[in-house]
Structure 1
Amino acid sequence: MDDIVKQALAKWPNVPHCYGWLGLDARGNWYMRDDRTQAAGPFPIAKGSLLKHEKLIDFIQRNYEHDERGQWFFQNGPQRVYVELEAAPWVWRIGEDFSVRSHAGDLVEPSACLVDEQGRLYLAAPCGLGLVHTQDMGFAAEAIEQGRWVAENVRAADLPGRYGHVMSPAAATPVQAAH
């Protein structure tokens, strides 16, 4: 977490949390979801505006964490902005050497390989579950063929419970403190 964020937390410890305003899609893209977008439907049906500002995206990714309930959020100064997930908390990029990096650029070591009923490939790592980016499926298939990863068949609906993440903190929170 950035030092400036830690300082803001100490200065303003009781700022209400924010729900529904930020989404992470299955390709690792961040979306800002204003009131109109939220009224149009849940994420990813109504995605919102694609964030393109590199420094903002980097700031979000450096301050991206989860709480004790498995809800992922971006710590924006003293405020937690909870993230709506399309597929998983992480999106993995696979290198030619079969290295695995998160959508934030962090190198991870997969501990499990999972294929859901739609053929989507997930990898579990110490930091959480992630979906393999569609552009990297060729490398992932080669890793499986070489026996580097052994794919286990799963149901996508079972993954949040198994790996402890919440797909929609907005839907899971009965009273939203800030909107």
Structure 2
Amino acid sequence: MDDIVRQAMAKWPHVPACYGWLGLDARGQWWLRDAQAQACGGFASGRAGARGTLLRHEKLIDFIGRNYDADARGCWYFQNGPQRVFVELEAAPWVWRLRCTEAQLELTAHTGALLAAADVQQAVLDDQGHLYLLLPRGLGLVHSQDMDDAARALERGWLAEPEELPRSVLAERFGYRQSPQALEQATEMLPDR
């Protein structure tokens, strides 16, 4: 996390969190979701306009990546100064880029962080044919453009044979929330005790 973010958190410790305004797609791209985009439906709904506007500003994308984390509920967020901006996930909290060379398997997170292939704990194939890898950071979807590299890594024994699981169970099994906004709205509807 950036020092300037830590300083802002210390200076303003009680800034309300923001829900629904940022999304991460299955290609590792960030999307800004204004009120109009949110009115079109959930980020992962596939409805026209629900994604919002693709972020293209490289310095902002890097800033988000450096300050991306999860809370104890499994909700992923971007710490924007003193405010947590919770992220709607299309698939998983991470998108992994793979490159299989003659000598090794190279892994990079959608945030740009370089990862050790030895840290891969598990491979998972969902019922739609998407490949996920579990690393200490969490579960991540292998980018669709890197499936040839993933197949070569499997052939070479650099990745374990994937466990087959329905996509519907991944979030619960691997401890993340696809929609922190939906969780927050459900919590707000609970009667006071």
Tell me whether the two structures share a fold, i.e. TM-score over 0.5: yes
Q: Which residue of 1 aligns with 2:184?
A: 173
Asked if 1:104 is matched to 2:115, the reply is: no
How many angstroms apart in 1 are the aligned matches of 2:20 and 2:33?
A: 7
Structure 2: which amino acid aligns with 1:80?
Answer: R
How many angstroms apart in 1 are the aligned matches of 2:59 and 2:157?
A: 38
Does the 8 Å contact 2:92/2:141 carry over to 1?
yes
Q: Which residue of 2 aligns with 1:145?
A: 155
Q: Which residue of 2 aligns with 1:119?
A: 129
Does the 8 Å contact 1:144/1:151 carry over to 2?
no
User: Please, which runs of 5 or more residues in structure 1 have no aligned partner?
Assistant: none
Using the TM superposition, give the Cα deviation of residue 147 of structure 1 relative to its aligned residue in structure 2, in angstroms.
Answer: 2.4
Using the TM superposition, give the Cα deviation of residue 162 of structure 1 relative to its aligned residue in structure 2, in angstroms.
Answer: 1.1
Does the 8 Å contact 1:33/1:48 carry over to 2?
yes
Alignment of 1:19-168 (within 5 A): 19-44=19-44, 45=46, 46-97=50-101, 98-108=105-115, 109-149=119-159, 150-168=161-179
Using the TM superposition, give the Cα deviation of residue 144 of structure 1 relative to its aligned residue in structure 2, in angstroms.
Answer: 1.3
Stretches (4+) displaced over 3 A: none
Q: Percent identity?
A: 57
Structure 1: which amino acid aligns with 2:63?
Answer: F
After TM superposition, the structure 1 stretch with the greater mean CA deviation from structure 2, 152-161 or 127-136, is 152-161
How many angstroms apart in 2 are the aligned matches of 1:155 and 1:125?
A: 19
User: Please, which runs of 5 or more residues in structure 2 have no aligned partner?
Assistant: none
How many angstroms apart in 1 are the aligned matches of 2:112 and 2:34?
A: 27
Does the 8 Å contact 1:8/1:77 carry over to 2?
yes
TM-score (ref. length: structure 2): 0.88
How many angstroms apart in 1 are the aligned matches of 2:71 and 2:31?
A: 21
How many angstroms apart in 2 are the aligned matches of 1:106 and 1:95?
A: 14
Deviation string, structure 1 residues 51-70 (Cα, Å, up to 9, x no partner): 00000000000000000000
After TM superposition, the structure 1 stretch with the greater mean CA deviation from structure 2, 44-53 or 106-115, is 106-115
> How big is the alpha-carbon RMSD for the aligned residues of Structure 1 and Structure 2?
1.2
Using the TM superposition, give the Cα deviation of residue 106 of structure 1 relative to its aligned residue in structure 2, in angstroms.
Answer: 1.5
